[in-house]
Amino acid sequence: MIEKAKHFATKAHQGQKRKNSQEDYIVHPIRVAETLRKEGYSKELICAGYLHDVVEDTDYTLTDIENHFGPTVKSLVAAHTEDKTKPWQERKQHTIETVRQGSFEVKALIVADKLDNLKSLQKELERHGDAVWSNFNAGCESQKWYNQSIAEAMTQGLTPDQIPNYFHQYKKLIKQTFD
Protein backbone atom coordinates (compact mmCIF):
# COMPACT_ATOMS: atom_id res chain seq x y z
CA MET A 1 0.00 0.00 0.00
CA ILE A 2 2.82 2.43 0.85
CA GLU A 3 4.69 1.78 -2.41
CA LYS A 4 1.41 2.16 -4.30
CA ALA A 5 0.87 5.58 -2.67
CA LYS A 6 4.41 6.67 -3.54
CA HIS A 7 3.92 5.59 -7.16
CA PHE A 8 0.48 7.26 -7.32
CA ALA A 9 1.86 10.56 -5.96
CA THR A 10 4.87 10.41 -8.29
CA LYS A 11 2.59 10.00 -11.29
CA ALA A 12 0.16 12.68 -10.07
CA HIS A 13 2.90 15.29 -9.50
CA GLN A 14 4.88 14.42 -12.65
CA GLY A 15 6.31 17.56 -14.24
CA GLN A 16 5.57 19.78 -11.23
CA LYS A 17 8.31 21.79 -9.51
CA ARG A 18 8.52 23.23 -5.99
CA LYS A 19 7.53 26.89 -5.62
CA ASN A 20 10.98 28.24 -4.74
CA SER A 21 13.26 25.89 -6.62
CA GLN A 22 13.60 23.68 -9.65
CA GLU A 23 13.32 20.60 -7.44
CA ASP A 24 10.81 18.01 -8.64
CA TYR A 25 7.66 18.39 -6.56
CA ILE A 26 7.52 14.71 -5.58
CA VAL A 27 10.62 15.15 -3.41
CA HIS A 28 8.46 17.04 -0.90
CA PRO A 29 5.77 14.34 -0.36
CA ILE A 30 8.52 11.73 -0.17
CA ARG A 31 10.20 13.66 2.66
CA VAL A 32 6.87 14.14 4.47
CA ALA A 33 6.09 10.42 4.23
CA GLU A 34 9.62 9.60 5.41
CA THR A 35 9.18 11.79 8.50
CA LEU A 36 5.99 9.88 9.31
CA ARG A 37 7.60 6.51 8.61
CA LYS A 38 10.53 7.27 10.93
CA GLU A 39 8.03 7.91 13.74
CA GLY A 40 6.56 4.45 13.20
CA TYR A 41 3.10 5.66 12.23
CA SER A 42 0.46 3.60 10.47
CA LYS A 43 0.65 2.71 6.80
CA GLU A 44 -2.45 4.85 6.23
CA LEU A 45 -0.75 7.92 7.69
CA ILE A 46 2.42 7.30 5.68
CA CYS A 47 0.31 6.95 2.54
CA ALA A 48 -1.40 10.25 3.37
CA GLY A 49 2.08 11.77 3.63
CA TYR A 50 2.75 10.81 0.01
CA LEU A 51 -0.71 11.88 -1.12
CA HIS A 52 -1.31 15.01 0.97
CA ASP A 53 -1.04 17.48 -1.96
CA VAL A 54 -2.51 15.33 -4.74
CA VAL A 55 -6.08 16.63 -4.49
CA GLU A 56 -4.97 20.22 -3.95
CA ASP A 57 -2.44 20.36 -6.79
CA THR A 58 -3.52 17.84 -9.45
CA ASP A 59 -6.67 16.65 -11.24
CA TYR A 60 -7.20 13.73 -8.83
CA THR A 61 -10.10 13.91 -6.39
CA LEU A 62 -10.81 12.66 -2.88
CA THR A 63 -12.95 9.96 -4.51
CA ASP A 64 -9.88 8.79 -6.42
CA ILE A 65 -7.90 8.66 -3.17
CA GLU A 66 -10.65 6.66 -1.46
CA ASN A 67 -11.01 4.25 -4.40
CA HIS A 68 -7.28 3.51 -4.40
CA PHE A 69 -6.40 3.78 -0.70
CA GLY A 70 -9.59 3.54 1.36
CA PRO A 71 -11.60 5.84 3.62
CA THR A 72 -8.92 6.38 6.31
CA VAL A 73 -6.34 7.73 3.85
CA LYS A 74 -9.05 9.78 2.13
CA SER A 75 -10.08 11.30 5.47
CA LEU A 76 -6.49 12.26 6.33
CA VAL A 77 -5.88 13.79 2.89
CA ALA A 78 -9.23 15.61 3.07
CA ALA A 79 -8.34 17.14 6.44
CA HIS A 80 -5.11 18.47 4.95
CA THR A 81 -6.50 19.71 1.61
CA GLU A 82 -7.06 23.44 1.25
CA ASP A 83 -9.85 24.96 -0.84
CA LYS A 84 -7.79 27.05 -3.25
CA THR A 85 -10.85 29.04 -4.33
CA LYS A 86 -10.71 30.82 -0.96
CA PRO A 87 -8.35 33.67 -0.04
CA TRP A 88 -4.95 32.86 1.51
CA GLN A 89 -5.83 34.13 5.00
CA GLU A 90 -9.07 32.14 5.13
CA ARG A 91 -7.36 28.94 3.94
CA LYS A 92 -4.57 29.28 6.49
CA GLN A 93 -6.96 30.05 9.35
CA HIS A 94 -8.89 26.89 8.44
CA THR A 95 -5.67 24.84 8.53
CA ILE A 96 -4.78 26.28 11.95
CA GLU A 97 -8.20 25.28 13.29
CA THR A 98 -7.86 21.84 11.69
CA VAL A 99 -4.56 21.35 13.53
CA ARG A 100 -6.00 22.68 16.80
CA GLN A 101 -9.06 20.42 16.72
CA GLY A 102 -7.76 17.53 14.65
CA SER A 103 -6.89 14.01 15.64
CA PHE A 104 -3.31 13.13 16.46
CA GLU A 105 -2.91 11.69 12.95
CA VAL A 106 -4.13 14.92 11.32
CA LYS A 107 -1.75 16.96 13.48
CA ALA A 108 1.12 14.58 12.66
CA LEU A 109 0.49 14.85 8.91
CA ILE A 110 0.11 18.62 8.76
CA VAL A 111 3.12 19.34 10.98
CA ALA A 112 5.31 16.93 8.96
CA ASP A 113 4.30 18.90 5.86
CA LYS A 114 4.88 22.30 7.46
CA LEU A 115 8.26 21.19 8.82
CA ASP A 116 9.43 20.13 5.37
CA ASN A 117 8.12 23.35 3.83
CA LEU A 118 10.04 25.37 6.42
CA LYS A 119 13.25 23.39 5.83
CA SER A 120 12.94 24.09 2.10
CA LEU A 121 12.22 27.76 2.76
CA GLN A 122 15.27 28.08 4.97
CA LYS A 123 17.52 26.61 2.24
CA GLU A 124 16.09 29.04 -0.30
CA LEU A 125 16.53 32.00 2.07
CA GLU A 126 20.18 31.02 2.49
CA ARG A 127 20.62 30.87 -1.30
CA HIS A 128 18.55 33.83 -2.44
CA GLY A 129 17.83 35.99 0.59
CA ASP A 130 14.62 37.95 1.05
CA ALA A 131 13.84 37.84 -2.69
CA VAL A 132 12.32 34.42 -1.93
CA TRP A 133 9.29 36.07 -0.30
CA SER A 134 8.11 37.35 -3.69
CA ASN A 135 7.30 33.73 -4.64
CA PHE A 136 4.63 33.47 -1.93
CA ASN A 137 1.01 34.58 -1.83
CA ALA A 138 1.81 36.22 1.51
CA GLY A 139 5.06 37.77 2.72
CA CYS A 140 7.39 37.11 5.61
CA GLU A 141 5.20 38.51 8.40
CA SER A 142 2.16 36.53 7.26
CA GLN A 143 4.23 33.37 6.93
CA LYS A 144 5.61 33.95 10.42
CA TRP A 145 2.09 34.35 11.82
CA TYR A 146 0.92 31.19 10.04
CA ASN A 147 3.78 28.98 11.17
CA GLN A 148 3.69 30.28 14.74
CA SER A 149 -0.08 29.69 14.84
CA ILE A 150 0.37 26.10 13.63
CA ALA A 151 3.01 25.57 16.32
CA GLU A 152 0.68 26.92 19.02
CA ALA A 153 -2.18 24.71 17.81
CA MET A 154 -0.26 21.48 17.18
CA THR A 155 0.01 20.37 20.81
CA GLN A 156 -3.59 21.18 21.71
CA GLY A 157 -5.08 18.11 23.40
CA LEU A 158 -1.75 16.24 23.55
CA THR A 159 0.16 15.26 26.67
CA PRO A 160 3.92 15.99 26.69
CA ASP A 161 4.75 12.31 26.09
CA GLN A 162 2.56 12.27 22.96
CA ILE A 163 4.46 15.09 21.25
CA PRO A 164 6.81 13.76 18.54
CA ASN A 165 10.37 15.10 18.30
CA TYR A 166 9.71 16.67 14.93
CA PHE A 167 7.08 18.96 16.51
CA HIS A 168 9.91 20.38 18.66
CA GLN A 169 12.12 20.60 15.59
CA TYR A 170 9.38 22.58 13.81
CA LYS A 171 9.15 25.10 16.69
CA LYS A 172 12.92 25.53 16.70
CA LEU A 173 13.01 26.06 12.93
CA ILE A 174 10.29 28.73 13.17
CA LYS A 175 12.49 30.68 15.62
CA GLN A 176 15.55 30.28 13.38
CA THR A 177 13.66 31.34 10.27
CA PHE A 178 11.62 34.28 11.55
CA ASP A 179 13.36 35.73 14.63
Question: Which positions are catalytic?
Answer: 56-57
Q: How far is CA 14 from CA 7, 23, 115, 130, 142, in A?
A: 10, 12, 23, 29, 30
Residue 153 β-bridge partners: none
Q: What is the DSSP string of 101-165?
A: HS-HHHHHHHHHHHHHHHHHHHHHHHHHGGGGGGGSSS-HHHHHHHHHHHHHHTTTT--GGGS-H
CB 56 within 8 Å of CB 109 = no
Which letter does DSSP use for residue 59 in this model?
Answer: S
Q: How far is CA 159 from CA 101, 154, 155, in A?
A: 15, 11, 8
